[in-house]
Amino acid sequence: MTNSFIPPVRTLMGPGPSDVSPRVLEALSRPTIGHLDPAFVGMMDEVKSLLQYAFQTKNELTIPVSAPGSAGMECCFVNLVEPGDTVIVCQNGVFGGRMKENVERIGGKAVMIQDDWGKPVDPQKVEEALKQHPEAKILAFVHAETSTGVQSDAETLCRMAREHDCLTLVDAVTSLGGTPLKVDEWGIDAIYSGTQKCLSCVPGLSPVSFSARAIEKIKARKTPVQSWFLDLNLVMGYWGGESKRAYHHTAPVNALYGLHESLLILEEEGLEQAWSRHQRNHAALKAGLERLGIDFLVDPEARLPQLNAVNIPQGVDDAKIRTRLLDEYNLEIGAGLGALAGKVWRIGLMGHASNMKNVMFCLAALADCLS
């Protein structure tokens, strides 16, 4: 006979999901109500407002997609890209490659800008590509590259795109809530994130936001949006105005309770305070890792404080150490992806997991396993 599944209690310090706040876990367990219930619709409006704060935007079209961050990415691409459109895509890790996949599956043309993994997107290369491709309609890049722990200069890249009358499409899956992100001030047109990183909610929802310029492009489409489920013209009937909501899909009711609670926690702490906390704990982790002889993949000025990509010391068995950390300490850290597999560890200090207790615990466990 199969029994109820009782998961082990872990400390999650990998690239996500991150530790979920007890307040969020409690919110998830509240009674389920209908997704068109007036009380739930009122909470949906609060989620939109709280997300606008987290993204630092007044964009009316700021909602959580009812699926993980990868669906948020697809939502942005299928709504904004039409067959034949040229999109400049920056790749400096795994997730820029996924952007290219989206463009090509829609029938668009991806003009690739390649940078070394562990390096930020080079603005000079972007400027050259924008000049060489005046037909480009969108510049797409990853703000915080989860596979390498590097952060690109979103403000500069967005300014360049505007100067060439190009929309910007930005991956902020790992940056939202953990590092400065200012959608309106920087002029970001379409952005997507995930709930399981610095928001410390459970996986399964993807906050997105679209500027007025992006909405204009969506409304001016000559072809239908490729995905029925992610077609914002339909989704907005449910997430839209103050009057009666049109049924589109059954929203993940309890998951949205959890997101509401996690966004409340962020608002209570304050965005600037959350950004500072991630930076402080990163500095403490860095000091401890250096004492263990472990150095970073990314140059200091481009490092993500919430996701630390570190070089595995010479002669150390990557999988063996991570297995010991999990088996003996119930501690999860992340492996390298793609070209960095077996070469780096990714140590997350995201959201609820970004605290000094976790920093000291991780350092002590690593010291023991490495010795």
What is the domain partition of the chain in residue ranges? 11-16+271-370, 22-267
Place of tokens 């400065």: 180
Which pLDDT does position 351 carry in this prediction?
97
**Per-residue pLDDT reduced to its tens digit, 168-218:** 999 999 999 999 999 999 999 999 999 999 999 999 999 999 999 999 999
pLDDT of 242 over the 80 cut: no
pLDDT of 244 over the 80 cut: no
Q: How far apart are the first and last CA of the chain?
A: 43
Q: Where are the beta strands (DSSP E) in 233-353?
A: 307-311, 331-332, 334-335, 344-348
- For the chain, the average pLDDT equals 96
Question: How would DSSP label each residue in 325-369?
Answer: HHHHH-EE-EEP-GGGTTTEEEEE--GGG-SHHHHHHHHHHHHHH
| Domain 22-267 bears CATH identifier 3.40.640.10 | yes
Q: SS3 helix, strand, coil % of the chain, rounded to 5? A: 45, 15, 40
What pTM, to 2 d.p., does this model score? 0.97
Reduced to 3 states (helix: H, G, I; strand: E, B; else coil), residue 186 is: helix
pLDDT, mean of residues 278-288: 98
Sign of the Cα pseudo-torsion (59, 64, 66, 71, in order): positive
Per-residue confidence band for 28, with pLDDT thresholds at 50, 70 and 90: very high
Which pLDDT does position 314 carry in this prediction?
94
pLDDT of 313 over the 90 cut: yes
Cα separation, 120 vs 144, in Å, equals 9
Place of tokens 């999860």: 332
| Domain 11-16+271-370 bears CATH identifier 3.30.420.40 | no
